Each structure stands twice: as structure tokens, then as C-alpha cells.
Structure 1
């Protein structure tokens, strides 16, 4: 099977590198292009056998499965480029959350899937959210899942909940990293501990906490309760956080959903009202 990638930016390159590192794909099974062609060429230089091509058309003609790793505003142009060349036997996989499965099924004749990867996939961890269009057969789903299982845990989600699922799985690492960054900086400022030491402690804490919440069998609530001694230091810290963060995560979700709605409206305009 030959797999194509249109878009080799941050997430496109993570998918390519993760699939190669885990032997899900060999470099010579991959054909890739990017709007800035030099980015695709750099991947071809690193991974001998990977073929960098200068056009979307060439990817469509060469690949059995095509990953579309482009920004929402670029999507319609990419679809227009590949539409004359894709066939019913091919699978197109979008990783762009505001682009809906129906947008693609209404505009190109092939099988359609949608995934939301995470930067955690770069270390072969975390989830990949998966959604499948009406033309996907069981064997098509199995083929895609086999690729994703080597670098992540594929989880089927309803497209209706794409945004909130992405907030947790895909945006979550950035939100959590921001929390760690602020925690470390406060520790350095208030106590004088070195940033290097504080960062190492915090990073190991996050890793261990993740293992407790997965392999360890704890829920967030049970882990919090296990660590917290009534009237103790952790309890006092949590009391302060509960007061200062009251409503913060609700506002966060409203913010991401508002942005998603803006992007979805733009995509709708590109696909159905291109003159507006």
C-alpha cells in the first residue's frame, strides 16, 4: 500500500515520522507534498525512499490512502486539485476538525475518514480520534486502524463531539504544558530552585500521573483523593485552586468552541458559497 500526505507541516510531519519510526510504513511507501515544497524535500532527505513530489495531483495518482494535513482555508483548493484524479477505491483521510465528512463525501468520489491526531503520537502514545464516512468498509477501517495502532490508541468518536474530544486529546497537551510552564516559573521565582531542576521534577510528575490514570487504574477523582490528606498542604493548595479556577475550564471550552464555529462557517463558505 502506498500512502500519500498532502501537507507536511507540524502534524503532517509528526504522522509521517511516527509511522516510519514504528514500522507502520516504510519510507518507500510514502509520497508527500507541501505548499512549501522544500519541507517535503527535507523529509525525503532524512528518510531515504520517501518520495517528495511538487503537486497534489501527483500524490493523488500515486497513493492508495491520502492524508490531508492542511489548514481549513486551504482545504477547498486541495480538494479541487485532487478531485479529477481520485477514484472510488482510494481512501482520503482528513485531519482538519472543521472540515466535515459530508463536505468531502459531497465533493469527491472516494472513501472518506477523519482523524484527529495528537502531538503525543510522536512518542507513540495518546489517542487518535477516528471517524468514518458511509463509504468506508470494514476492511478499509481495519487498514487505517492498523496504521494508527502502531503509534497511538485509535478511539472512535462521534463527529458531533469532534471539538470537545479534540480539546481534551489534541489541544490538551498544550493546555497541560502551559500549566506545567506556569507551575515551574512560579517555583523558580518564589523559591530560587533552578528552572532545569523544577522542569525535570514537573515533567516526571506529569509522566507518572498519566501512568496512574491509565495503567494504574485511578480516575482523576480517586487520584486526587488518594494524594490529599484532609487539612494538609495538598488540601490547602486544592482549596485555593478551586477558588481561583472557578469557571476557568467552562470559559476555555466556550472559547475553543466559538473558534471552531468560526472555522466551520468559513469552511462552509468555501465549499458551498465560494464567491462570498
Structure 2
């Protein structure tokens, strides 16, 4: 089966590398294209056997499964301009949250799906969010679940929770990386620890935390309970977090949902004029 990747920016590259490292696809299966050819060539240098196409049309013509890894605003013109090339036996997958499978099904004969990856998939870990179109053939549904099981935990979700699920799975790593970085900066500014040591300790703390959860030694609440001894030092820190973080995550979600809603309204006019 030939897998086409249209767009090898950050997420297109991460998806390609994860599929290859997870043995969900072989380099000879992949046909990639990017507006800046050098980015696609970098993938080919890393994974010998990948085919770098000269055009989007070449990818569509020679692929069975096609991933659209471009910006939301670029998807409608890309699909519409090349609509004559798409075939009913192909499967078309968007990896961006504002694009619904219904919109894609209305303008292409393909089986359609939306799969929202995470940067954690690069480590063959984390989750991916899956939504199948109403007309998506069952064999494609099985193929996609099998493929993404090799690099993640694929979770089929309803459109109603797309944004908040994406906040957790796709945006979450950036949010928690930012908070960790601010934690490191505070330790360096207010104590005698150097940045390299603080960073190394923090990274291994996060890795260890992930391992504890993965191996199911503790749940998040029980883990906090085990560390936070009543009347102890950790408890004093938790009191600060409880006070200072009050309402922060609610505001974060409100901001991402506002942006998402604005994008959906704009894109809906494009897909359904």
C-alpha cells in the first residue's frame, strides 16, 4: 500500500517518522511532497527509500492512503483543485482539528477520516484522536486503527469533544513543557542550582512520572496523595498551586475554544458557501 504525505512541516515530518519507526509503513511505501522540497528531501536522507514527489498531483495519483498535513486554510483549495484525481477506493485523512470529515466527504469521492496526532507519537507513545466519515469504508477504518496502534493509542472520538480532546492530546505537551520550563527558570533564579542540573532533574522527573502512570503503579490522585504527606513540604507547595492556578486552565480552554470556533466559522463558509 502506498501512503502519501502532503506537507512535511512539523507534524507531517513527525507523523512520517513515527509511522516508519513504528513499522506501520516502510520507506518504500511513502510518497511525500512539500512546498519547500528541501524539507521533504531531509526525510529521504534519513529514511532511504522514501519517494519525494515533484507535485501534489503525483502523490494523489500514486497513493492509496493520503494524509493532508497542511494548514487548515490550504485544505479546501488543495482538494478542490485536484478533485478529478481522487478515486473512491482511496482514503483521505486530515490531521487538523477544525476540518470535519463531513466537509471532506462533500467534495471528494474518497473514504475520509480525521486523525489528530501528537508530538508524543514520535516516541511511539501517547494517543491519537480518530473520527471516521460516515462513508468511510470499514476496511479503511480497520487499516487506520491498526496503523496508528503501532505508534499510539488510537481513540475514536465524537465531533463534540474534538477541541477539548485536542487540547489534551495535541496541545497538552506544549502546555506542560511551558510550565516545566517556567518551573526550571524559577529554581535557577531563586536558588543556587544551575540550569543544566535543574533541566536534567526535571526531564527525568517527567519521564519517571510517565513510567509510574504507564505501569499503573498509581493514578494521578493517588500519586499526589503518596507524595503530599500531610503537614509536609510538598503540601505547602500544593497550597500555592491551588491558590495561584485557580481558574487558569478554564481560561486556557476558553482561549483555545475561541480560536477554534473562529477557524471553524471561517472554514465552514469556504467548504459550504
Provide TM-score, normalisation by structure 1. 0.96
Alignment match, 1:190: 190
Q: Describe how 1:1-276 pairs up with structure 2 within 5 A.
A: 1-273=1-273
**8 Å Cα contact 1:57/1:85 also seen in 2:** yes
Structure 1 runs, 4 residues or longer, greater than 6 Å off: none
- Residue 119 of structure 1 deviates from its aligned partner by 0.3
Q: Decide whether the 8 Å contact of 1:93 with 1:115 is kept in 2.
A: yes
By how many angstroms is 1:132 displaced? 0.7
Give the CA RMSD over aligned residues. Answer: 1.2
TM-score, normalisation: structure 2: 0.97
Matches of 1:192 and 1:80, distance apart in 2: 59
Rounded Cα–Cα distance in structure 2 between residues aligned with 1:172 and 1:216 = 21
Give, in whole Å, the separation in 1 of the partners of 2:94 and 2:49. Answer: 24
Q: Take 2:137 and 2:217, find their aligned partners in 1: how far apart are those partners?
A: 34
**1:230 CA displacement:** 1.1
Q: The residue matched to 2:218 in structure 1 has which SS?
A: coil
* Cα contact 2:101–2:114 (8 A) shared by 1: yes
How far did 1:218 drift?
2.4
- TM-fit CA distance, 1:188: 0.7
Unmatched runs of 5 consecutive residues or more in structure 1:
none
Task: Tell me the matched-pair count.
Answer: 273
| More deviation, 136-145/64-73 | 136-145
SS of the aligned residue for 2:108 comes to coil
User: Where does structure 2 lack aligned partners over 5 or more consecutive residues?
Assistant: none
| Residues 71-106 of structure 1: CA deviation (Å, up to 9, x unaligned) | 111111211233111111100011010011111011
Contact kept, 8 Å, 1:57 with 1:81, in 2: the verdict is no
The answer on whether the counterparts of 1:56 and 1:81 sit within 8 Å (CA) in structure 2 is no
